[in-house]
Amino acid sequence: MELEIKKDLTSNWFKMLQDSICQKISEIEKNKVEFKSTIWKRNHKKDEGGGEFKILENGKVFDKVGVNFSKVHGKFPKQFQKNILGAKKNPNFWASGISVVMHMKNPLIPAMHFNTRYICTTQNWFGGGIDVTPSKKDNNEKKEFHKILRNMCNRHNKNYYLKYKKWCDEYFYLPHRKETRGIGGIFFDYKKDNFEKDFKFIRDVGTTFENIFQKIIRKKIKNKWTRKDKEIQYIKRGRYVEFNLLYDRGTKFGLQTGGNVKGILMSLPPLAKWK
Amino acid sequence: MELEIKKDLTSNWFKMLQDSICQKISEIEKNKVEFKSTIWKRNHKKDEGGGEFKILENGKVFDKVGVNFSKVHGKFPKQFQKNILGAKKNPNFWASGISVVMHMKNPLIPAMHFNTRYICTTQNWFGGGIDVTPSKKDNNEKKEFHKILRNMCNRHNKNYYLKYKKWCDEYFYLPHRKETRGIGGIFFDYKKDNFEKDFKFIRDVGTTFENIFQKIIRKKIKNKWTRKDKEIQYIKRGRYVEFNLLYDRGTKFGLQTGGNVKGILMSLPPLAKWK
């Protein structure tokens, strides 16, 4: 398959998935709160693509949820080339992806994060993952969440789940706090074995995320929570901010390469506390 | 003068200044809210010094203020040696300092930050600064603040003010936002011309900070503010968090070298918002 066709297939899928996820979120909000959409361009002087991020705030269910789509191309700044697979000698890249971060009003429902991307340098690969950050422990929820991910992974390759779960645990870790960001999930990068199989997996990760967030939210949407639960959530969100600003590679990379700041930082919670 | 005497003189001054600043803050709070003190050791197995940080929260005037004293010694981890003056070939260091961060309840009063330190590797130097972060513009306050700093600097050296003001503007800058953290102040490092003159300057920076924060607070303490002013302050605090976690060298260095996490992150505001 030609590379241009792969780029079209993947970016169209990410765009479609953005619409589909936004629609499901709107349904959960009973269509009473609207997403605000921002369309941005990477470069105003020449065409280097851009994206659209959609943010819904102050809902009945979501405090803040961002659903970000981008499709960009250009040249990596020199100082980053060495860190990027396949870009050591050639700075040209193309990248498309979708990322979602959900900060929930009900503190008994975990924050949820999902991302998939397709990146082309002199090599072409997929990356992404799903992970969940509760502020209140719930072992059943954790088990159920990982079971869905394991089943999904097993549909594609019996080795994926353990490998990607481990990668997730290692990635979403705050060394200064000696704690994980949440209860893990899956995380993968540099996935470039076989485009058709990999893309099938990527689509499955997307639709599985749709199932997961609806399931988790519906299960607890009516559960009563206390002021104290909310305070614990605010502190947990402080940790979320610490992770994203101190360690997250995507955040750092985006900010250092002149990405859209509001789009990149949409992952930050609406309100966080430190004590 | 022997180095050990310099270490005693500087660390005793920082400790005394911590007590003095805490007392002045307590007076502003009419002694109705107490500082909580935490004493920590750098290493529990052998003596590598430690410190004491004092935090006052939920006051009538201060939302949160931290006053941190430390006196530590040890060896720099190998990967940091090359970045530290005088430590390329010898990892041993001794360091003492005081840092203060004030997050005010009244959003018309700026957040204020002060720090001075004495660091010894194979070279010995002072560093520090004062800077102020309003969430509402006030040109008179800015003028007055810089005038006090200029006068103080001029007592020591006619070149200090412009040099250290520029350094401050460059340091407290958020490139991804294309904005400064606040209205500047002074910032200096690697100060090692003459111990006695430098130490005199360092003490003047400390007592000048005491004058500045009392003056700024007293001037506005009774000014009425609105809910909207407070919301703007919360957003500005989000920027403060971004700066400290993304760019601040002290924060990064402290977290990467196993410093006391609560002490290092006491600079974070009690509550921040993003929209």
Q: Where are the domains of chain B?
A: 3-267
Query: What local confidence, expressed as pLDDT, does residue A258 receive?
Result: 73
Residue B245: which residues within 8 A CB-CB, separation 6 or more? A241, A242, A245, A246, B251
CA distances from B85 to A162, A229, B10 (A): 44, 47, 19
pLDDT of B177 strictly over 80? yes
The answer to whether the beta carbons of residues A107 and A232 sit under 8 Å apart is yes
Cross-strand bridge partners of residue A49: A72
pLDDT under 50 in chain A at which residues?
A: none
Burial of A129 (0-12, 13-18, 19+ CB in 10 A): buried
Catalytic (active-site) positions of B: 113
Q: CA quadruple B244, B249, B250, B253: dihedral positive or negative?
A: positive
- Token pair 């340098």 is at which residue? A121
Note the pLDDT of residue A181.
Answer: 95
Alpha helices in A133-275 (DSSP H): 139-154, 160-171, 195-220, 227-246, 249-256, 261-264
CA B110 to mean position of chain CA atoms: 14
Residues 6+ apart with CB under 8 A from A34: A26, A56
Q: CB-based contact (8 Å) between A270 and chain B?
A: yes
Q: Give residue B77's pLDDT.
A: 87
Average pLDDT of the residues of chain B? 95
Question: What homologous superfamily does CATH list for A3-267?
Answer: Coproporphyrinogen III oxidase, aerobic (3.40.1500.10)
For residue B275, list chain A residues with Cβ-Cβ distance below 8 A: 57, 270
pLDDT number for residue A252? 86
CB contact under 8 A, B265 and A274: yes
Tell whether B3 lies on the interface with A, counting CB pairs under 8 A.
no
Interchain CB contact of A261 with B (< 8 Å): yes
Helix (H, G, I), strand (E, B) or coil at B172: coil
Cβ atoms of A17 and A206 closer than 8 Å? yes
- Closest residue in A to B36 (Cα–Cα): A275
pLDDT over 80 (residue B258): no
Distance from A265 to chain B by nearest Cα, in Å?
A: 9
Which helix (H) or strand (E) is B10 found in, with range?
A: helix B3-28
Over residues B246-268, mean pLDDT: 88
Chain B neighbors of A264, CB-CB under 8 A: 176
Token pair in block for residue B30:
């009419």
Q: Which residues of B touch A252 (CB under 8 A)?
A: 246
Rounded to whole angstroms, how far apart are CA atoms B251 and B184?
A: 19
Has residue B163 got a pLDDT over 90?
yes
DSSP class of residue A42 equals S
CA distance B275 to chain A (A): 6
Q: Which residues of A are catalytic?
A: 113
- Say how far residue B18 (Cα) sits from the centre of its chain: 11
Lowest-pLDDT choice from A42-46, B7-11, B120-124, B187-191:
A42-46
Asked if A234 has any chain B CB less than 8 Å from its own CB, the reply is: yes
Question: Could you tell me if A9 lies within 8 Å of chain B, comparing CB atoms?
Answer: no
- Whether residue B109 is predicted with pLDDT greater than 80 in this model: the reply is yes
What sign does the dihedral A19-A25-A26-A28 (CA atoms) show?
Answer: positive
Q: Rounded to an integer, what distance in angstroms lies between the CA atom of residue A69 and that of residue A99?
A: 7
Return the residue in B176, B251, B260 with the most chain A beta carbons within 10 A, the one to mutate for interface testing.
B176
- Say whether pLDDT at B35 is over 80: yes
Categorize the per-residue pLDDT at B1 as very low, low, confident or very high, splitting at 50, 70 and 90.
confident
Task: Tell which of A103, A273, A274 to mutate to test the B interface (max B CBs under 10 Å).
Answer: A274
| Residues of chain B neighbouring A234 (CB-CB closer than 8 A) | 271
Task: With CA atoms as reference, report the closest residue to B171 among B135, B131, B138, B137.
Answer: B131
Inter-chain touch A261–B177, beta carbons under 8 Å:
yes
Residue B153: predicted pLDDT: 98
pLDDT tens string B110-144: 999 999 999 999 999 999 999 999 999 999 999 99
3-state SS assignment for residue A103: strand
8 A C-beta contact, residue B161 and residue B130: no
Q: Which residues of B touch A273 (CB under 8 A)?
A: 270-272
> What three-state secondary structure class fits A130?
strand
pLDDT at residue B257 is higher than 80: no
